[in-house]
Amino acid sequence: MRESWELLTTGPPEADRSVLLLPGGANAARSFNLVMADPGLSGVRLVATTLPGMAGTPVSEDVSIPALSRRAGQLAKEHGCDVVVGFSHGATVALDMVLSGDFQGPVVLLGISLTTEDEAAFFRGVVRGSQKVGIWPMAILLRLMPLMARTAKAPELHKKELIEDFKQNRASDALLACVEYLDYIAEDRDFAAELAASGNPVWVVHAEKGDGGLTDAERATLHTAPNVTLVTIPGSVFLLPDEAPQETAAAIASALSHVS
């Protein structure tokens, strides 16, 4: 029986610095393999975890964003993590960790959507449609994801692992998690302003195309915030930890440099 929060760790147990890595929807902890192997993070303890309902892990608990935030905050404390990194769905968990006080250090938010408008309309349609007509739209989306992995700009072995993990997803479990995610970013809140007011050192990383984006208002708010660093990766990238591991590792290294 698989556990809801599967862990993958690298780096020396006695390392001075530790990082918690939260993957995106449908991804497993090992989606961060290339980032974890980057020489720029050698000597750092890296702890990646698969979120409940993702890549075949069971939904054995509340998968709302605040609930995941609390549990991830506990993991960060248990492993002495100085920095939290999240991609997409995982970035939203990291966002809530900051805003709720579940984590008080630097965070790196990869490909985050701060509002419904930021998230892909196709994905929103699949999730909301599955709520109305049954899980078959989500099941079709999950069957398409291995095709996306095959076109990823990543080493063949890593693409094989991505495909294996995508195939493990169960539509019913993925739908539960995705509904909670969309409900969270649809709340009547100005997440950009809340991040700017948090005081936490924050890195918001997006590609020019492919991984969602920010509204002009959100970008303007974050750009003027002294605690926020905006990073734009050139070109089209859908899976930042997998297709831009060096840039992701560089953002993590910058976050680690802000740990006192």
pLDDT in tens, 13-34: 889 999 999 999 999 999 999 9
Separation between Cα atoms, residue 123 and residue 137, nearest integer Å:
10
Please report, rounded to a whole number, the percentage of residues in the chain having pLDDT higher than 70. 98
Is residue 112 pLDDT above 80, yes or no? yes
The pLDDT mean for the chain works out to 93
Dmax of the chain from CA atoms? Answer: 51
pLDDT in tens, 32-50: 999 999 999 999 999 999 9
Q: What is the mean pLDDT of residues 52-59?
A: 89
How far CA 161 is from CA of 146, 181, 199, 237, in Å, comes to 10, 25, 37, 18
Angle at 158 between CA 155 and CA 159, to 5 degrees: 85
Q: Tokens for 210, please give them.
A: 């492919």
Q: What is the mean pLDDT of residues 234-260?
A: 92
The DSSP-derived string for 118-146 is GS-HHHHHHHHHHHHH-SHHHHHHHHHHH
Is residue 1 pLDDT above 70, yes or no? no
Is residue 2 pLDDT above 80, yes or no? no
